[in-house]
Structure 1
Amino acid sequence: MTSENAASAAGLRIRPPRQERSRQVWARIPDVGVQVVEEGGYEAFTIAAVCGRADVAPPTVYARVDTKDALFLAVYEHGIAQVSASQEVFSDQRRWDGLAPERLVREAVTELAGVFFRHVRFLRAVVLISGAHPEVERRGSVHARRLGEEFTAVLLRAADRIAPRTRPPRPARASPCSSPRWYSASPTSPASPRRRPPTRSSPRSSSRSRPATC
């Protein structure tokens, strides 16, 4: 890690409170911060806005963090922890034991949708923020990957009981168009044979059966 990166990481650290009263006051900050993010996104998220809603003085926050970004990432982690708590259902083995494949897939999808619906305001806000905030994008990618892996693990429990549905091959039909040259060369390509100019057929030849055309 370079000195610049180390300084940046140090500026994002949280200094945990040591006294019980300070811990109680600080405990209100993340919940209020999530509400501010849900309502107004990163633009509305300021230390003054959080302090005003949490009814704490700004020095209380600055005693724990140095910058707005450090406070925002602490709030972000608090919100993501709530989302992670909702997705613990996927790691609950008893929840999925004995379910028929159709029911397992249906209920797994329902649970996944429930995770997003319960936290839709927070997730919508952080997705928009991640487009302009590399650290939020990085952390969000890690969380999304973990959620995807847990969801997939549930579905794979029924993989050996779901028979693949394959369509039987269609029988080949003899046709003048089935010659390989019809697929390997187009009428305008150099490999295409030149067509001879049409000749006027005699009455006798016109009565003969003509070959099928494509």
Structure 2
Amino acid sequence: MGVADIATDDFEVRPPKQRRSREAWNRVLDAGVMLLEDGGYEAFTIAAVCDRAGVAPPAIYARTSTKDALFLAVYEHGIARLRAEHAVFADVDRWAGLEPAELVRSAVAEMVGISLRHTRFLRAIVLTSAAHPEVRRRGSRYSRELGERFAKVLRALAGTITHDAPEAAIRSCFDTLFAASMIRVAYGPAFATPVPVDDQRFVFDMGETAVRYLLGGQYAPSGSTLPR
């Protein structure tokens, strides 16, 4: 039976109620994230999670009865760390007073930077999602959530964006940058280019690409060299 054949009820996790049980469960979730970061889905087994977390199997089976339910609980635990960083897009002070080009560069740096800071975890998730419909469904929802936060910041530039449909341009910009980031995360910096660049240069290039696409030639690039 494949993942697509598993009933939704099999993904259920019974939350712990006592403090010691919660602490043990958090160790399980942390251990699961580390296993995915170290070895991907292939390394993720209930036995390996127990060993890494220092708990006996009953600590897991008291919460869930399947590997996939445990995997999805670990997935949500890891994704919660990324989503916490999305809060920067709701921080009004972070974006106040920025010139249009700098606003675009900063929004891109925040968005791309979140993915790059969590590369090891996201690599396992992206590669797993191709064969795991539930991960793909949840990943799509969270990606759209990030896209909306990114778009909300850039909507302040609607009158400056050099497109007849600013909203569509912002969405297209996000889709392009997000796709490039996920390819880099999943397959590494050398996958699509014979001249790979480091993460700092990648973020810089994505920012300049977004400025040119959204604002046209009216704003000079931030420079040919990276800021120190």
TM-score w.r.t. structure 1 length? 0.71
Deviations 1:109-133 (A, max 9, x none): 1111210111111111100000000
1:128-139 aligned at under 5 Å gives the runs: 128-139=127-138
Q: Is the Cα contact below 8 Å between 2:27 and 2:53 reproduced in 1?
A: yes
Aligned partner of residue 76 in structure 2, secondary structure: helix
Deviations 1:74-100 (A, max 9, x none): 000011111101111112122112211
Aligned partner of residue 161 in structure 1, secondary structure: coil
Deviation at 1:161, TM superposition (A): 3.5
* Aligned counterpart, 2:93: 94
Over the aligned positions, Cα root-mean-square deviation in angstroms equals 2.0
* Aligned counterpart, 2:43: 44
* Aligned counterpart, 2:7: 8
Q: Distance in 1 between matches of 2:216 and 2:55?
A: 64
Deviation at 1:163, TM superposition (A): 5.6
Deviations 1:174-206 (A, max 9, x none): xxxxxxxxxxxxxxxxxxxxxxxxxxxxxxxxx
1:103-114 aligned at under 5 Å gives the runs: 103-114=102-113
TM-score w.r.t. structure 2 length? 0.67
Deviations 1:1-32 (A, max 9, x none): xxxx9x82222111111222111111111111
* Aligned counterpart, 2:148: 149
Q: Distance in 2 between matches of 1:114 and 1:166?
A: 24
In proportion to residue count, which structure has more helix? 2
1:1-214 aligned at under 5 Å gives the runs: 8-162=7-161
Which structure would you say has the larger Rg?
Answer: 1
Aligned partner of residue 148 in structure 1, secondary structure: helix
Deviation at 1:166, TM superposition (A): 8.7
Q: Distance in 1 between matches of 2:63 and 2:138?
A: 21
What residue identity is the alignment partner of 1:16? P
For structure 1, list consecutive stretches of 5 or more residues without a partner in the other structure. Answer: 168-214
Q: Is the Cα contact below 8 Å between 1:28 and 1:54 reproduced in 2?
A: yes
Q: Distance in 2 between matches of 1:161 and 1:42?
A: 45
What residue identity is the alignment partner of 1:133? H
Q: Which structure has the higher relative contact order (CA within 8 Å, separation 6+)?
A: 2
Between the two proteins, what is the percent identity of the paired residues?
57
Q: Distance in 1 between matches of 2:216 and 2:124?
A: 42
Q: Distance in 1 between matches of 2:129 and 2:109?
A: 26
What residue identity is the alignment partner of 2:114? V
* Aligned counterpart, 2:166: none
For structure 2, list consecutive stretches of 5 or more residues without a partner in the other structure. Answer: 164-214, 218-228
Q: Is the Cα contact below 8 Å between 1:101 and 1:162 reproduced in 2?
A: no
